[in-house]
Amino acid sequence: MTTDVNDIVETIIAALVKTLPTPVTVTTETSITRDLGLDSLAVMDFVMVLEDQFDVSIPMERIAEVETIGDLARTISELRGHA
């Protein structure tokens, strides 16, 4: 995994810990919908926070493909690369 993606993972985890009602250990492999108990709407709302932090728009169909924190970081990295 590239440094860029690692940095993104760290930022995501930091933002996520602030959002979650109960403390959870989050890693690259954590499944966003299964392990965090977030419904699809909560995931989309969290993604908006990330969009602002990374100044990137993540289309909904890309969010649908994301399973883990690592996937999300790679998606953001790709979208930033294209920007």
Q: Could you list the active site residues? A: 39
Burial (Cβ within 10 Å: 0-12, 13-18, ≥19) of residue 6:
middle
Q: Is 81 in the site for other proteins (CB under 8 A)?
A: no
Q: Is 31 in the site for other proteins (CB under 8 A)?
A: no
Specify which residues 27 forms β-bridges with: none
Q: How far is the CB of 57 from other proteins (least distance, A)?
A: 5
Q: Is 40 in the site for other proteins (CB under 8 A)?
A: yes
CA distance 78 to 76: 5
Chain residues binding other proteins by CB under 8 A are: 39-42, 44-45, 48, 51, 55-61, 83
